[in-house]
Amino acid sequence: MAAIALAAAAELAPLLGATVPADWMAKAEGLRTPTSPAPDGSGLSGSYHPEYDGYPKIKGPRVKQADAVMLSYPFGVNMSAATLSNDLTWYEPQTDPNGPAMTWAIFAIGWFNTGNYTHACTRFRRGFDPNVHPPYMVWSETLHGGCTPFLTGAGGFLQSVVFGTSGMRLLSDRLTFLPPPPSATGAGATSMTLHGVHWRGARFDQAVTEDSVTFTVTQAPAAGGALTLVAANGVRHVLQNGVPLTLPRAGLLTMLPPTAASSRTGGTGN
């Protein structure tokens, strides 16, 4: 978080006509999130992220809620799928089952990221069941009560829907998408649609099925130009207003911001 705060300040200051110390970006880049070999007796191989220096020997392995597993999402720390899988596998049984409700939505997003959709199914559902209660379907903080309505729990579930099922990640200069199949929610869904995403002056919908993902621009960028979608194979597609673009679901997709040049290059084929 310190690295994110320093880097964000250094990046945004020129846009606001402000200045920050010249070494802030260097300091941000120098702050690293350390990994350690998987704990002895865990049955895991490779690395994972310990909760703190000396974990788990100093205070024991138990944790209250999602914390180290948030490094991948929402904090965006770059790591291999194997390391993320180790984090999720290790911390799941160590996490207090009566902890705050938002925890399991974070695990669901993590398992979506690794491609382990079997694990993702149960964690996605655990993001709301049994913490959601009638008649108004509001979240309780824990299985046994606590703060009600618990907006953090509802917010965590929304994160798993908006960013988990779409696979969308917001970066400073682009959006990326790595959507899981709708069946990975364990909800019997055959398609998932994200409506009205507003980005860089444009709006678009994203519809995901088991095999495909379709993007449809519903509002062209106000400043002109067009959004560009880069497929997993590197082919660029210019997104024209109202014209759906369908691509295979598997593989990372990258959306680039509108530029005047983008409207004159590339193709729009489905």
Q: What is the pLDDT of residues 21-43, one digit of tens each?
A: 999 999 999 998 899 999 999 99
Beta partners for residue 227, in sequence order: 239
The Cα–Cα gap between 87 and 197 comes to 31
Domain ranges of the chain: 1-30, 49-164, 171-264
The predicted model gives 55-69 an average pLDDT of 93
Backbone phi, then psi, for 50, in 5-degree steps?
Answer: -70, 150
Nearest in space to 101 (alpha carbons), one of 133, 65, 69, 70:
65
- How many residues does the structure list for the chain? 270
Look up the CATH architecture of domain 171-264: Sandwich (2.60)
How far the first Cα of the chain sits from its last, in Å, is 40
Cis ω for the linkage preceding 244 (within 30 of 0): no
Position 95, amino acid: T
Write the CA distances from 211 to 65, 109, 234, integer angstroms. Answer: 34, 19, 19
pLDDT band at 261 (very low <50, low <70, confident <90, very high): very low
User: Residue 259 pLDDT > 90, yes or no?
Assistant: no
The predicted model gives 202-226 an average pLDDT of 95
User: Residue 269 pLDDT > 50, yes or no?
Assistant: no
pLDDT digits (tens, 9 = 90+) for 131-165: 999 999 999 999 888 999 999 999 999 999 999 99
pLDDT digits (tens, 9 = 90+) for 68-89: 999 999 999 999 999 999 999 9
The Cα–Cα gap between 248 and 185 comes to 19
User: In the β-sheet with 226-230, what is the strand arrangement from edge to edge?
Assistant: 168-170, 175-177, 253-259, 226-230, 236-239
Is residue 104 within 8 Å of 131, Cβ to Cβ? Answer: no
Residue 114 belongs to what H/E stretch?
Answer: helix 103-114
Output the pTM of the full model. 0.90
